[in-house]
Structure 1
């Protein structure tokens, strides 16, 4: 598998509401990553969120400091990231994250007022299982 591609399409798991934007290889202090980026409209955001929850066990999106993102609360009420995960047949690990653009709309009923949501599939190139 090429380190950078439309991962969801290659796995046969891409919701029709998602548009592939690009894939870039990025070097970070925590290692190299391949990041595929997708977008969806606010009208389709709830449907895409449901697919990512079902297929990749991503947590529901919550409004945190101006952005909708997948988080869960621990027993002390502190929020922590709760992205989804996919492990391919070769043991490559992928993180699945959905977020909104920065917004002041903090209620799900207002999602249609947010112009777009983004999905990122992040492959940690040095990590396998």
Structure 2
């Protein structure tokens, strides 16, 4: 019952004022060093929308984890861009989504990043079906400690 109640309460909450900071901006400010890593490194595909950034101190390297949303109609162009920009290996269908191994890159100051492009669960079995899928995501981890 609690999740339904929480959803109902959120639905009735007043709208934020037009100049209120976005959820992503608030979260990025709450975690020092968190933010739009792809924009900061000059590797952001124009179709990618920064969603949020969180700290994950329990994982090796204590990464800061940034998420991006990619409209499915733009997924192939973003994949092409990331293949060139960071050496991403093209996505393959695995089980019920499209994904692949993480690409690693280093920025000009020597910070290490790991990047994944993936789809949510989708029935799309062929790349030509991507435009009808839900939005894809890019996950970028910036490591705050040596791995």
Q: TM-score, normalised by structure 2?
A: 0.73
Runs (4+) of structure 1 moved beyond 6 Å? Answer: none
CA contact (8 A) 1:92 1:127 kept: no
CA distance in 2, matches of 1:93, 1:111: 30
Q: Distance in 2 between matches of 1:103 and 1:28?
A: 30
Residue 49 (structure 1) aligns with: 79
> How far, CA to CA, are the matches of 1:30 and 1:5 in structure 2?
20
The alignment's C-alpha RMSD in Å is 1.5
Residue equivalent to 2:48: 18
Match of 1:40 among 58, 70, 73: 70
**DSSP 3-state at the match of 2:43:** coil
RCO greater where, 1 or 2, for CA within 8 Å and sep 6 or more? 1
Distance 1:66 1:37 in 2: 21
- In the alignment, which residue of structure 1 is the partner of 2:106? 87
Segments of structure 1 that go 5 or more residues without pairing to the other structure are 71-81
* CA distance in structure 2 between the aligned counterparts of 1:117 and 1:26, rounded to whole angstroms: 22
Deviations 1:47-103 (A, max 9, x none): 000111111001000010111002xxxxxxxxxxx2212211232110011000111
Give 1:31 shift. 4.1
Other-structure match for 2:7: none
Of Structure 1 and Structure 2, the greater helix share is in 2
Higher strand residue share: 1
SS of aligned partner of 1:9: helix
Q: Residues 10 and 126 (structure 1 numbering): CA distance in 2 closer, same or farther, change over 3 Å?
A: same
Name the larger-Rg structure. 2
